[in-house]
């Protein structure tokens, strides 16, 4: 495959994930349930995607904010340990770093309760102040916008348009809207897609954004709005895409799911890095699926290296 070194600038949310896995059922109010494992890891969509891309050989920079606290210092240390450029990560004085508590079922499915913390202070000016990182990258990914409420969608659209004009590939993964996807937000995201080369929602997000109950219909609607390609991640059902007017699909292989937290971000990173290595789109989707499967199957040592995954091909 191509010897091009992928490069990616990621703008988005950073936090710690406290994960309790092996939970059989959610407790009702006033009750308690037990899990079998716990872990605290550097996360946020930007954190997971950044680490995954770095493990796959990409040059990665991250633009975001953490608190001026021990958690924020841990995140910076972890990311720098992966070789990630953290120049664009600010520490907000007097703010605590965000925290998500993830409850993970025995089959790997998960839910979250989060406190955004310092990420609430991430605004477009930080992207402008570190625009050189965007210019130096082959791709700009903006992720987790509902966890960075000061980063307005109209500002995201303007920065994606500016990056695209510079020849930088634009990638967008909004994450889940806890406000229930009101019409105004749906309109703003739909408008934003006119500046996006690669839109990467999961199935729940795609259906909510389009108000559709049919995933094929949702794909058509999103493809009509998007300037480039749309890939909808469907977990154990694989992924479907619209690329250059053609519908593509990749099935997921059955794996014993240990923990699905962050799997979508690993998929995003693997897809972007594969495409930058000039893999065909179908092959890149298959590569991303294998990367996510590798990750989901493990509780520790989760992020795959290139050597852990199949060799890329030019298959379209």
**207-255: pLDDT as tens digits:** 999 999 999 999 999 999 999 999 999 998 999 999 999 999 999 888 7
Spacing of C-alpha 60 from chain mean position: 14
pLDDT of residue 106: 83
Position 299 scores a pLDDT of 77
Extract the tokens encoding 183: 């019409």
pLDDT in the model for residue 300:
81
User: What pLDDT is recorded for position 18?
Assistant: 94
Taking 60 as the threshold, does the pLDDT of residue 150 lie above it?
yes
Please, what's the b/e burial string for 288-298 (b: 16 or more CB within 10 A of its CB; e: otherwise)? bbbbbbbbbee
**For 144-153, what is the mean pLDDT?**
96
* Tokens 């749906």 -> residue: 186
Predicted pLDDT of residue 65 = 98
Contact (CB, 8 A) for 145 and 175: yes
The dihedral sign for the CA sequence 55, 39, 19, 153: negative
- Mean pLDDT over the full length of the chain: 94
pLDDT surpassing 80 at residue 316? no
C-alpha of 192 from chain center: 17
pLDDT of residue 122: 97
Q: What CATH fold (topology level) applies to the domain 7-14+44-96+119-308?
A: 3.40.1190
Residue 3, pLDDT score: 74
The ranges assigned to domains in the chain are 7-14+44-96+119-308
| Cα of 271 vs its chain's centroid, Å | 11
Residue 311's pLDDT is 85
- What pLDDT does 101 receive? 93
Share of the chain above pLDDT 70, in %: 97
Q: How confident is the model at residue 167 (pLDDT cuts 50, 70, 90)?
A: very high
Q: What is the pLDDT, as a whole number, of residue 267? A: 98
CA atoms within 13 A of residue 170's CA, in its CB half-sphere: 23
What's the pLDDT score for residue 313? Answer: 65
Q: What would the mean pLDDT of 202-209 be, rounded to a whole number?
A: 97
Residue reference for tokens 């290139």: 306
> Is the per-residue pLDDT at 2 higher than 70?
no
The SS3 of residue 305 is coil
pLDDT of residue 1: 55
Rounded to an integer, the average pLDDT of 67-74 is 97
Please list, in sequence order, all residues whose beta carbon lies within 8 angstroms of the beta carbon of residue 297, skipping any fewer than 6 positions away.
255, 256, 257, 258
Q: What pTM value is reported for the model?
A: 0.95
Residue 314 pLDDT greater than 70, yes or no: no
């Amino acid at each position: 495959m191509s010897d091009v070194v992928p490069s990616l600038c990621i703008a988005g949310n950073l936090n710690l994930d406290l994960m309790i896995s092996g939970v059989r059922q959610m407790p009702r109010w006033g009750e308690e349930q037990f899990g079998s494992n716990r872990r605290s890891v550097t996360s946020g969509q930007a954190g997971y995607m950044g680490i995954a891309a770095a493990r796959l050989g990409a040059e990665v920079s991250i633009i975001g904010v953490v608190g001026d606290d021990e958690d924020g210092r841990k995140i910076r240390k972890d990311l720098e340990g992966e070789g990630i450029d953290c120049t664009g990560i600010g520490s907000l004085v007097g703010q605590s770093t965000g925290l998500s508590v993830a409850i993970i079922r025995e089959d790997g499915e998960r839910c979250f309760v989060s406190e955004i913390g310092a990420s609430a202070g991430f605004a477009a000016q930080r992207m402008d102040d570190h625009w050189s990182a965007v210019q130096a990258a082959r791709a700009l990914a903006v992720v987790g916008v509902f966890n960075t409420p000061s980063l307005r969608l109209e500002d995201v659209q303007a920065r994606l348009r500016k990056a695209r004009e510079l020849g930088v590939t634009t990638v967008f993964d909004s994450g889940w809207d806890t406000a229930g996807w009101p019409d105004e937000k749906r309109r703003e995201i739909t408008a934003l897609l006119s500046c996006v080369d690669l839109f990467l929602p999961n199935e729940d997000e795609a259906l909510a954004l389009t108000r559709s109950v049919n995933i094929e219909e949702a794909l058509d609607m999103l493809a009509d709005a998007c300037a480039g390609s749309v890939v909808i991640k469907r977990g154990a059902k694989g992924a479907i895409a619209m690329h250059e007017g053609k519908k593509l699909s990749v099935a997921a292989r059955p794996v014993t799911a240990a923990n699905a937290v962050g799997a979508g971000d690993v998929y995003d990173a693997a897809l972007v890095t594969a495409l930058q290595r000039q893999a065909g789109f179908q092959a890149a989707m298959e590569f991303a699926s294998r990367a996510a499967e590798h990750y989901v199957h493990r509780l520790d040592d989760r992020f795959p290296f290139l050597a852990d995954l199949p060799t890329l091909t030019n298959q379209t």
